[in-house]
Amino acid sequence: MKFDIPATQNPIDRQSIVGQPRDRVDGPLKVTGGARYAYEQHDVVPNQAYGYVLGATIAKGRIASMDLKAARASAGVLAVVTAKEAGKLGKGKRNTAKLLGGPEIAHYHQAVALVVAETFEQARAAASLIRVEYAQTKGAFDLEAAKGRAIKPTGEDSSPADTQVGDFAGAFATAPVALDQTYTTPDHSHAMMEPPATLAAWDGDKLTLWTSNQMIDWGVGDLAQTLRIPKANIRLVSPFIGGGFGGKLFLRADAVLAGLGARAAKRPVKIALQRPLMFNNTTHRPATIQRIRIGADRDGRITAIGHESWSGDLPDGGPELAVQQTRLLYAGANRMTAMRLAVLDLPEGNAMRAPGEAPGLMALEIAMDEMAEKLGMDPIAFRALNDTQVDPEKPKRPFSMRRLNECFKIGAERFGWDRRLARPGQSRDGRWLVGIGVAAAFRNNLVMKSAARVRLDAHGTVTVETDMTDIGTGSYTIIAQTAAEMLGVGLDKVVVRLGDSRFPVSAGSGGQWGANSSTAGVYAACVKLRETVAQKLGINSAEAVFANGEVRAGNRSMPLASAAESGPVVGEDTIEYGDLDETHQQSTFGAHFVEVGVDVATAETRIRRMLAVCSAGRILNPKTARSQVIGAMTMGVGAALMEELAVDTRRGFFVNHDLAGYEVPVHADIPHQEVIFLEETDPMSSPMKAKGVGELGICGVGAAVANAIYNATGVRVRNYPITLDKLLEHMPSA
Amino acid sequence: MRAFTYERASSPAAAATAAARNPEAKFIAGGTNLLDLMKLEIETPTHLVDVNGLKLDTIEATPDGGLRIGALVRNTALAADESVRRDYGVLSRALLAGASGQLRNRATTAGNLLQRTRCPYFYDTAQPCNKRQPGSGCSALGGFSRQLGVIGVSDACIATHPSDMAVAMRALDAMVETVKADASTRTIPIAELHRSPGSTPHLETTLAPGELITAVTLPKPIGGTQIYRKVRDRASYAFALVSVAAIVQRDGSGRISLGGIAPKPWRVEAAERELPRGAKAAAAAMLDGARPTPENAFKLPLVERTLGAVLSEARA
């Protein structure tokens, strides 16, 4: 199905099941242990052996020598795999560094060996017996120091690196009110609960991997390229994923090494990447240095807006797209954005929840707060005045839908924004300095081709198959809701099977495109199935109404199942997109409100209340969508207050490489969270008229927290995370 | 993890004898710290002496009106004990500020005293660390040191002792009872249990080889307002940046012990004379001789401010 004109009325608009707050269909499996994650696939193949990964202990250089003798002789060891043993390997299109290092070492904890043994403990014990001598070379590990050497990135993903409209320099220089500030965000780790994990089994030259991967087809392609075998010989199965946040978008070492280990040991091999390796072995969100300049008239109208961002990555890597939102979020005739990329020999940077916007808004939305204060304006009024209904770089291109101002308005009423004292440091509750802050949420809506197959059997059961993944988001549920709505059956009649490369290729889970695109693919397949059903039943498909397990046309009514009496009926199709996302800018919007308390003595910040108001098209399931948004808000609090991969700039690695050192919020950090979704449908996005919320929820949270801290204390911190040591010396005496 | 042999001790003295026999032996009780360290090969004992079966898990009154806490009393049980809550509130509060419910259910009194530092370089066996590998150097000096010690540290090591419980016990003048391999017993004031790192940061306590902690005793209650204030980056499940255990009497006198800043619970009795003059004077006296890194220098004003808040709370 080609989606190239705006959606009109369709069966989804009934919203009898879609749009309803249904429980997760996979909930019972999750809470009873019935959901099998990669490392728990104990019964899919017999004779499973265990792998343990050895990471490099230098940041850059070469392996001078490696002594595997003791490891090989160790009890229970079946195989030891290194780059030497593995022979010639390719590299996945989406990988920057090799997943099995040696002799060159590209980053700390890059895998250099895999030990396979009868038990996990034996593999671990043997791995510690491997002696590696390294020849270290000098690397660059400090973004601030490397900034001067940063270049304009040329990769496809960062195109364009620069944008310019009007005369930014001239307008900024003459603006009566101007702000020029620099903000920094640190490296972040996805730190998901389930580490990258894979069970691999060979059958002749065919390889099956039970793994944890957000993007099945990317994984198959990159693994085929890495192992230099045909894509058709690889099957990836990833039915349940214990968190990914972008850390599992790509093929990682667990999958490659499990494949190589299983080949070497001639046995199925499973690997869960050890927790202490997760922070340096996998990808991370790169640190940024961001300079923002805003010029405005005295009445608050922006006349010049400029955003530059510097980030680093390994050679041939890409930049963090932190200026992305500034191209679209606010009006202003004179504009510039620029991204610069420095070579750093730290582990590989890549996408993490809302890449670009998440760190970009952490800076931009503090800058907007600062600018509002300079203008003596309310921060919401300042943003509203500079709203734009068109792409400000290409004014002929309207937004498909943009209700940012309504998000602010509704949120302000609900949150009690009018009780905010504009002068900071004025509100006190016992030992707490209390402040409230706001920020815009913005994340683009990407549309991705997505296929599905839907089968109706004689019992009236509808089975949906697509390689879409559920990373905890609720994909199983919204896909079941889509099929149920389209075919007029209850959720109990729908079976959803996901995450298997044998199924039609879907959009996968990333960039908050998964919900809209994958359900649109299921919609397309259901349209096909409806046509076939109508044909079988001898009725005109245009007239057919699918409801209550029946198909009605005129005054005729037949059980849906009767169409499958002589055998299952199958509909398979792909949603493909035309140029609606070119002619119209599709984005999601929101407003985050945060109230913090800052301890007047210790400067510890604790969140007191949070509210997100989101405008994101049709909300397919308000319950799972809310869950996405509050999870993202929590992650935003982490970025605001505590998350930071500490770089040892001498030795070139992230030092705090476990969950004791890399702190993320715990329950005690998160108070009541409220989420409001604006009622809307966006006919430009897909037949589902939906967009994504999983990333929108994190976008802007960090700045809302920062602005609330400023409101509470009068201390403006521009370097995240806002830990107490950055506030302390500026705090009033207790 | 290296292979090790294992035995269950039949009595405290037998445990001490077994551990003294093998210089690479370790006692194991709750295992909440040791097992993790063994998995990472930071600790590589060749023999484990399991003391869990020894009947050292009771809390009883002492003849002089104090409390005797068995070495194997779990942190959860100790925090919830009625007499601890009534008479030694600072101890109960400190315990509940530490770790998680699950860990406290398992962790023991003696194990808590003997837990090892959380310095991230200590935890990465590829990095030099004088505590883990004597003579290899200290990576934290000049490295990531935000969490680490500001006082009582040395050129060889700036690690902190991570316990909350021990900080409260230090303020309570706890005594540590032990048994040695020769079955002799002794009592060590908690102030003398932990050593300063000097040039030998791998030697952390004054216990002799094989010497087993059997109990911790608390002197009779001294009343006062008892506060434990733990300052940290997140609201729970984080080690202290700074913590203050305070016992403040109505006349303004009191005892203060600090956590998160030193290789041992940090108490300077002489400095407590300054308490009536306020937090600034007392903190200055307690932190005399501090040598922070640029990354953790904030702990000095943080101590003063936290102490100030605690003293205000005590007076309220």
**What does CATH list as the number for A2-35+447-582?**
3.30.365.10
Residues paired with residue A294 on neighbouring β-strands, in sequence order: A179, A305
User: Radius of gyration over alpha carbons of chain B, in Å?
Assistant: 19
| Domain range summary for chain A, segments of one domain joined by + | 2-35+447-582, 38-138+191-282, 356-445+586-728
Residue A701 near residue A640, CB atoms below 8 Å: yes
Report pLDDT for A732: 84
Q: Residue A173 and residue A185: Cα distance in Å, rounded?
A: 27
Residues 224-253 of B with CB under 8 A from A: 231-239, 241-242
Task: Give how far A438 is from chain B: nearest CA, Å.
Answer: 22
Instruction: For residues B191-217, give the mean pLDDT.
Output: 98
Closest-approach residue (CA) in chain A for B128: A651
Q: Of the candidates A686, A690, A525, which has an alpha carbon nearest to the alpha carbon of residue A621?
A: A690
Contact call for B143 and A57, based on CB within 8 A:
no
Query: What SS3 state is found at A569?
Result: strand
| A660 contacts on B by Cβ (under 8 Å) | 118, 239
User: A104-105 and A269-272 as β-strands: parallel, antiparallel, unpaired?
Assistant: unpaired
Residue B274 lies in a domain: yes
Share of chain B above pLDDT 70, in %: 100
User: Catalytic residue numbers of A?
Assistant: 695
∠ CA A456-A461-A463 to the nearest 5 degrees? 65
Dihedral through CA A472, CA A473, CA A476, CA A477, nearest 10? 120
Which residue positions in chain A have pLDDT lower than 70?
734
Which residue in the set B120, B142, B232 is minimally distant from A650, CB to CB? Answer: B142
Which residue in the set A57, A602, A660 is minimally distant from B302, CB to CB? Answer: A602
Q: Residue A196 and residue A252: Cα distance in Å, rounded?
A: 7
Asked, as a colleague might, if the bond just before A103 is cis with ω within 30 of 0, I would say yes
| A666 contacts on B by Cβ (under 8 Å) | 234-237
Closest-approach residue (CA) in chain B for A431: B309
Contact call for B234 and A121, based on CB within 8 A:
no
Token digits for B175?
A: 């005594």
* B316 interfaces chain A, CB cutoff of 8 Å: no
Contact call for A725 and B124, based on CB within 8 A:
no
Contact call for B118 and A660, based on CB within 8 A:
yes
| pLDDT tens-place string over residues A35-50 | 999 999 999 999 999 9
| pLDDT tens-place string over residues B280-311 | 999 999 999 999 999 999 999 999 999 999 99
State the CATH class of domain A356-445+586-728: alpha beta
Contact call for A641 and B306, based on CB within 8 A:
no
Residue B224 near residue B310, CB atoms below 8 Å: no
Contact call for A655 and B146, based on CB within 8 A:
no
To test the contact with chain A by mutation, choose from B124, B231, B293 the residue with the greatest count of A C-beta atoms within 10 A, namely B124
Q: What is the amino acid identity at position A463?
A: T
A266: how many CB neighbours lie within 10 A of its CB? Answer: 13
| A603 contacts on B by Cβ (under 8 Å) | 305
Residues paired with residue B227 on neighbouring β-strands, in sequence order: B246
CATH number at residue B25: 3.30.43.10
Which residue in the set B2, B233, B298 is minimally distant from A663, CB to CB? Answer: B233
Which residue in the set A276, A648, A729 is minimally distant from B143, CB to CB? Answer: A648
Query: What SS3 state is found at B155?
Result: coil
Q: What is the amino acid identity at position B222?
A: I
Taking CA atoms, B209 is separated from A60, A692, B10, B15, B205, in Å, by: 42, 62, 19, 12, 10
Token digits for A281?
A: 């072995």
CATH number at residue B252: 3.30.390.50
Q: What is the amino acid identity at position B166?
A: A
Report pLDDT for A734: 64
Taking CA atoms, A80 is separated from A10, A67, A115, A117, B1, in Å, by: 57, 11, 5, 9, 18
Residue B165 near residue B94, CB atoms below 8 Å: yes
Share of chain B above pLDDT 90, in %: 99
Residue B68 near residue B59, CB atoms below 8 Å: yes
Q: What is the amino acid identity at position B174?
A: A
Task: Give how far B148 is from chain A: nearest CA, Å.
Answer: 12
Task: Give how far B100 is from chain A: nearest CA, Å.
Answer: 11
Q: Of the candidates A24, A7, A1, A38, which has an alpha carbon nearest to the alpha carbon of residue A481?
A: A24
Residue B264 lies in a domain: yes
State the distance between the two ends of chain B, measured CA to CA, in whole angstroms: 52
Residue corresponding to tokens 């991967």: A213
ipTM for the assembly: 0.97
Give the domain extent around B45.
5-49
Task: Give how far A64 is from chain B: nearest CA, Å.
Answer: 16
DSSP 3-state percent helix, strand, coil across chain A (nearest 5): 30, 25, 45
Measured in whole angstroms, how far is the alpha carbon of residue B60 from the centre of its chain? 22
The reported pTM is 0.98
Token digits for A164?
A: 């310019």
Query: What SS3 state is found at A606?
Result: strand
Residues paired with residue A546 on neighbouring β-strands, in sequence order: A551
Q: Residue A255 and residue A148: Cα distance in Å, rounded?
A: 37
Contact call for B2 and A128, based on CB within 8 A:
yes
Contact call for B124 and A655, based on CB within 8 A:
yes
State the distance between the two ends of chain A, measured CA to CA, in whole angstroms: 65
| pLDDT tens-place string over residues B223-267 | 999 999 999 999 999 999 999 999 999 999 999 999 999 999 999
Q: Residue A148 and residue A730: Cα distance in Å, rounded?
A: 31
pLDDT at B187 over 80: yes
Read off the DSSP letter of residue A286.
Answer: P
Q: Of the candidates B53, B88, B55, B82, which has an alpha carbon nearest to the alpha carbon of residue B165?
A: B88
Q: State the burial class of residue A171 (Cβ atoms within 10 Å of its Cβ: 0-12, 13-18, 19+).
A: buried
User: Radius of gyration over alpha carbons of chain A, in Å?
Assistant: 27
- Largest Cα separation within chain B, whole Å, is 57
Number of domains in chain B: 2
Residue-by-residue DSSP string for B75-99: HHHHHH-HHHHHH-HHHHHHHHHSS
Chain A contacts to B (CB-CB under 8 A): 57, 121, 124-125, 128, 276, 431, 599-604, 606, 641-642, 646-648, 650-651, 655-658, 660-661, 663, 665-669, 723-725, 728-729, 731, 734
Q: Residue B301 and residue B290: Cα distance in Å, rounded?
A: 12
Segment (H or E) for A702: helix A701-713
Residue B187 near residue B219, CB atoms below 8 Å: no
Contact call for B305 and A604, based on CB within 8 A:
no
Q: Residue B299 and residue B19: Cα distance in Å, rounded?
A: 39
Report pLDDT for A242: 97
Q: Residue A288 and residue A342: Cα distance in Å, rounded?
A: 11
Query: What SS3 state is found at A514?
Result: helix
A79: how many CB neighbours lie within 10 A of its CB? Answer: 22
Contact call for A669 and B234, based on CB within 8 A:
yes
Mean pLDDT of chain B: 97
| A729 contacts on B by Cβ (under 8 Å) | 298, 301
Q: Of the candidates B269, B232, B277, B280, which has an alpha carbon nearest to the alpha carbon of residue B247?
A: B269
Measured in whole angstroms, how far is the alpha carbon of residue A575 from the centre of its chain? 22
Residues 6+ apart with CB under 8 A from A428: A434, A600
Fold: same for A2-35+447-582 and A38-138+191-282: yes
| B232 contacts on A by Cβ (under 8 Å) | 604
Fold of A38-138+191-282: Aldehyde Oxidoreductase; domain 4 (3.30.365)
Residue B113's pLDDT band (cuts 50, 70, 90)? very high
User: A569-577 and A2-3 as β-strands: parallel, antiparallel, unpaired?
Assistant: parallel
Task: Give how far B244 is from chain A: nearest CA, Å.
Answer: 12
| A651 contacts on B by Cβ (under 8 Å) | 127, 139, 143
Task: Give how far A191 is from chain B: nearest CA, Å.
Answer: 16
B39: how many CB neighbours lie within 10 A of its CB? Answer: 14
